[in-house]
């Protein structure tokens, strides 16, 4: 895997990605072949603003010659776009640029062999326009894949939410036994293929203490039946377990992955434990897709104070 180039799109042009990319490139140049899809003109302006100094190697998107990639330079496929300021307010005007970057990346991933695809953080509110709940779902639609899932990966402990960017009031409506079974199967397949291990998985309940004041509950009707099916397929599964204690050290160390019922149920404790030492991997796509586990962070853009660790972790993973 590590001998193949890594394909990266810059994501939101006015976020912190250029800064964390420059910081990460300083660490990885001479080690990895990286192809970046971005506006060269904008990157040059941001590089000057942030006080970095790298050279560029322009890549022809129609005929990529991997032998001519330069590890000492930023290999870039230049997306022409009229950016005036190096850092501007995040708004809808970035959408066409982001879409062009994604479209080209998906086209190249079909035609060429890459070790993986990394996209910079994107403002979901501006780019997705409520058409998709997240970039995971957007890429699933673009690649015509129905069964995909989010995995926040750390080699010590990963987490995966069954539902992602939806209001809490709708979570119970989106849960199903099939969805849990399908997602756990994706996780096990990924761990066996890429991590070379059969993962130990803990599954949370939905309700506090896995209990409900009603005669029936999601734990009884949905989650427990899914766990029984998965155990029948000889997976190493435990649950449903209360979400308020599963992340305590004596509990969490029993698992490789904790599967939760909604986004913040598992992402909040994971980010508290690991900060930026985790990456967001989309399972179920025709390629490995990773994004840094943070947003574009407009308030930090241009200040040269952002932590590049999540992007470094993504590059490290693809060098495995």
Q: Find the domain containing 102 and state its range.
A: 1-145+285-320
Is 105 found in the same domain as 13? Answer: yes
Q: Are residues 10 and 131 in the same domain?
A: yes
131 and 163 part of one domain: no
13 and 89 part of one domain: yes
DSSP string, 284-299: SSSS-EEEESS---GG
Question: Which strand ranges, in their side-by-side order, compose the sheet holding 116-119?
Answer: 56-58, 74-78, 34-38, 6-9, 116-119, 289-292, 279-283, 149-153, 158-161, 257-260, 200-204, 236-241
What pLDDT is attached to residue 1? 43
Structural domain count, the chain: 2
Q: Are residues 1 and 66 in the same domain?
A: yes
- pLDDT at res. 160: 98
Task: Tell me, yes or no, whether 203 and 277 share the same domain.
Answer: yes
In the chain, which residues have pLDDT < 50? 1-2
Same-domain pairing of 299 and 186 = no
**Does one domain contain both 279 and 295?**
no
- Domain of residue 185, CATH code: 3.40.718.10
| Predicted pLDDT at 229 | 98
- pLDDT of res. 29: 61
The whole-number pLDDT of residue 131 equals 84
Q: What's residue 61's pLDDT?
A: 87
Question: First and final CA of the chain: distance in angstroms?
Answer: 7
- Rounded Cα distance, 150 and 136, in Å: 7
For residue 66, what pLDDT is reported? 84
Same domain? 274 vs 318: no
DSSP 247-271: TSHHHHTT-SEEEESSHHHHHHHHH
Is residue 288 within 8 Å of 117, Cβ to Cβ? yes
Q: What is the pTM of this model?
A: 0.90
Q: CA-to-CA distance for 275 and 294, rounded, in angstroms?
A: 9
The pair of three-digit structure tokens given for residue 231, joined into one six-digit string: 């155990």
Contact 306, 297 (CB under 8 A): yes
232-275 pLDDT, tens digit per residue, is 999 999 999 999 999 999 999 999 999 999 999 999 999 999 98
Same domain, 141 and 289: yes
pLDDT for the residue 77: 95
Give the Å distances, CA to CA, from 306 to 150, 155, 177, 199, 309.
Answer: 24, 23, 40, 33, 9
d(CA 220, CA 223): 6
């Amino acid at each position: 895997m590590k001998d193949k180039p890594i394909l990266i799109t810059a994501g939101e042009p006015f976020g912190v990605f250029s800064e964390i990319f420059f910081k990460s490139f300083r660490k990885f140049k001479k080690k990895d072949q990286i192809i970046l899809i971005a506006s060269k003109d904008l990157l040059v302006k941001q590089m000057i603003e942030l006080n970095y100094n790298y050279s560029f190697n322009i890549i022809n998107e129609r005929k990529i010659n991997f032998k001519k990639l330069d590890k000492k330079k930023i290999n870039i496929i230049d997306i022409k776009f009229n950016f005036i300021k190096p850092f501007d307010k995040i708004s809808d005007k970035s959408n066409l640029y982001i879409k062009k970057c994604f479209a080209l990346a998906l086209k190249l991933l079909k035609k060429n062999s890459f070790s993986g695809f990394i996209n910079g953080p994107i403002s979901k509110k501006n780019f997705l326009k409520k058409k998709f709940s997240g970039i995971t779902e957007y890429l699933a639609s673009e690649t015509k894949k129905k069964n995909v899932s989010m995995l926040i990966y750390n080699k010590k402990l990963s987490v995966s939410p069954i539902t992602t960017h939806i209001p809490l009031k709708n979570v119970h409506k989106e849960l199903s036994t099939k969805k849990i079974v399908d997602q756990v199967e994706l996780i096990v397949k990924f761990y066996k293929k890429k991590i070379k291990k059969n993962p130990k998985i803990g599954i949370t309940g939905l309700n506090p203490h896995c209990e409900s004041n009603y005669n029936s509950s999601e734990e009884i009707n949905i989650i427990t039946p899914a766990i029984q099916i998965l155990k029948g397929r000889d997976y190493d599964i435990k649950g449903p377990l209360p979400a308020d204690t599963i992340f305590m050290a004596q509990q969490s160390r029993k698992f490789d992955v904790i599967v939760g019922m909604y986004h913040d149920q598992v992402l909040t404790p994971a980010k508290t434990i690991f900060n930026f030492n985790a990456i967001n991997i989309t399972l179920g796509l025709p390629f490995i897709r990773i994004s840094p586990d943070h947003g574009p962070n407009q308030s930090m853009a241009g200040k040269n104070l952002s932590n590049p660790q999540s992007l470094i972790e993504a590059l490290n993973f693809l060098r495995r």
